[in-house]
Amino acid sequence: MSHPHIHAKSSVKMFGGKVDDYLAIHNWFDDSKAFLGDMRHRAMKHHTAGIYEAERLFGETFKNSEGKIVYTRYVGEQHVLEDMGFIPTLEDWLENMELQNWMMNREKKVRQFGRELPRSLRQKVKESQIRDEQESKKVDAG
């Protein structure tokens, strides 16, 4: 599947009602295409945590246009299964991402950025760095 409207048509076959009953949920799952135009966009919501987030946003259940109660989680599971063939966890996505240096160089960036910070905030950054160094020494000694 590649389009929310197609997913919504599939929902109609599974749960009854009309395409409009499901379109908002399927659009939500795929709105990350606005930021990343290839299949990596699925890492944002196509997993168990995304399904539960949809349930939190859209409610646990809703009534479709036929008056039937539909579980939002089932619609989310349908969407992810149609796209992925299974329902991955967020961990499945993250453990397969390659770590990059920019993901881990917090101290370097804070020091470079810190020169432009207000004095009170520079002091807080410095205190945080001192605490980090002290904790690191404790771990090394212990």
SS3 of residue 70 by DSSP: strand
Report the C-alpha gap between 131 and 134 in whole angstroms. Answer: 5
Instruction: Note whether 102 and 57 are within 8 A (CB).
Output: no
Those residues whose C-beta lies under 8 Å from the C-beta of residue 74, and which sit 6 or more positions away, are 14, 15
**Nearest 10 degrees: CA dihedral of 27, 90, 61, 35?**
-20
**What is the per-residue pLDDT across 106-126, written as a single tens digit (0 to 9) for each?**
665 555 555 566 667 777 778
pLDDT of residue 16: 98
Instruction: Note whether 35 and 45 are within 8 A (CB).
Output: no
Q: What is the mean pLDDT of each run of 10 residues along the chain (142 residues)?
A: 90 98 98 91 96 98 98 98 95 86 65 61 79 81 72
Report the C-alpha gap between 49 and 17 in whole angstroms. Answer: 26
